[in-house]
Amino acid sequence: MMSLQALLVSTGTVALAEIGDKTQLLALLLAARFRKPWPIALGILAATLVNHAISAWFGAEVAGWLSPDILRWVVAGSFLAVALWTLKPDKLDEGEKLPAHGAFIATTIAFFLAEIGDKTQVATVLLATRYTPLWQIIAGTTLGMLVANLPVVWLGHRFADRLPLKLARTVAATVFLALAVWVAVRGVG
């Protein structure tokens, strides 16, 4: 029986980390601007798949370059940093312009660019240093993004305003902290 641990951990980690993140705010902004949920959802899917596939590949490569002991402490320290970063609320930059294309193209471009250097991209890199196979990491982190963002796209600001964002950030930070401790104690192998 095939283990789906990488898929499940990746999905849960990114779904929690995404709540209140700038890309979730971007999803709300795109939904309000275009009012076309399907092209927005497909744009989120396309951008996330490409961005997280590149990130997971990079994480797997980094894991091959470093000794297991060094990798253990780099990954543990990085998970700790992401845990602290998760506690800080994200805001969309004031005056940030959306591309003046259709909903799918605008979403794909905006989401891909917003994910560069974002905590969910960093989490994808880190998860790929710890878990295999890569397809489960990519599928899991993409599914986590969709789980967190699609309700915002379909339900708009009414749903987003009712989310307990502080609690969600605290839970996500706790997950990253637990991953940091797990890697520090058990290693990355």
CA atoms of 85 and 99, how far apart (whole Å) = 28
Q: What is the pLDDT of residue 188?
A: 53
pLDDT at 99: 54
Q: Are 102 and 30 a contacting pair, CB within 8 Å?
A: no
Q: Which two tokens stand for residue 56?
A: 């997971």
Average pLDDT value for residue range 95-124: 79
Query: Is a pLDDT exceeding 60 seen at residue 71?
Result: yes
Alpha-carbon distance of 20 to 187, in angstroms, equals 30
* Integer angstrom CA distances of residue 25 from 57, 149, 162: 27, 9, 14
Question: Where do the structural domains in the chain lie, given as residue ranges?
Answer: 5-67+102-166
pLDDT band at 180 (very low <50, low <70, confident <90, very high): confident
Distances from the Cα of 180 to the Cαs of 29, 53, 126, 140, 185, in angstroms? Answer: 33, 22, 10, 19, 9
Most confident among 88-92, 107-111, 132-136 (mean pLDDT) = 132-136
- Indicate the pTM of the whole model: 0.72
pLDDT in tens, 144-178: 999 999 998 988 655 545 656 577 667 767 777 88
The larger pLDDT score, comparing residue 15 to residue 74, is at: 15
pLDDT tens by residue, 123-148: 899 899 888 899 999 999 999 999 99
What are the tens digits of pLDDT across the range 21-66?
778 878 877 887 777 899 999 999 999 999 999 999 998 998 888 7
Write down the H helix ranges in 35-133.
Answer: 37-65, 68-86, 103-115, 119-130
| Dist. CA 63–CA 132, nearest whole Å | 11
